[in-house]
Structure formats: structure tokens, C-alpha cells
Amino acid sequence: MFEADARALRTSAPTPPPPWRIAQAARARAARRLARRVRWLWRIATIAFVAAAIPVVLHDPRTLPGLVAPLLLGALACWRDEPGVPRDA
């Protein structure tokens, strides 16, 4: 390959993205990954909590409001993603 050919290839090549854009995309991917993991953690914890609460509620139904309240508060806290986390369209 001649020097002129190499120079022409370098000038016609697309410019690489700036480093801040690469870092921003990496942070966005990490935020989505963390949000997905937290949602799965809440789902698994809720299923385990409900499975453990069934025998308690069957034994004494008056305990139902006390068992449901923490689940509702947790669901309220995780109702929406954090602001600023980009969502896939």
C-alpha cells in the first residue's frame, strides 16, 4: 500500500466518537443492567415473602395487613425507574 492510499483511507474514515460519549453509553448500559438486576431481586424477594407468608395467614388471617404493607411500600418505592436513566425506545 502506498503512502497516498493510506492517507486517503485515513481521511475517508469516519471520525471516532468522543471519549465522553463512550463513557456516557457505558454508564447508561450499567444503569440499565443494575435496574434490571434490582427488579429481578424484588420479584424473587416478593415470591419468597409470599410463599413464607401463606402458612402464617392461613393460621391467623389478622396478620394479612401487616404482611401486605411492606410489599406495598416496596412496590411504591420501585414503581418507576430512577429519573435520568435512559429507556430503550
CB atoms within 10 A of CB 8: 11
pLDDT digits (tens, 9 = 90+) for 50-78: 898 889 889 998 988 888 888 788 777 76
Residue 63 backbone phi and psi in degrees, to 5: -80, -5
Domain residue limits, the chain: 17-77
Rg (the chain; Cα; Å): 25
Express each pLDDT in 39-50 by its tens digit: 888 889 888 988
* Amino acid identity, position 83: P
Give CA separation, 32 vs 38, 56, 77, in Å.
Answer: 10, 36, 17
Overall residue count recorded for the chain in this entry:
89
Most distant CA pair in the chain: distance in Å?
A: 86
- Per-residue pLDDT tens over the stretch 9-40: 888 878 777 888 888 889 999 999 998 898 88
Taking the complete model, does pTM exceed 0.85, yes or no?
no
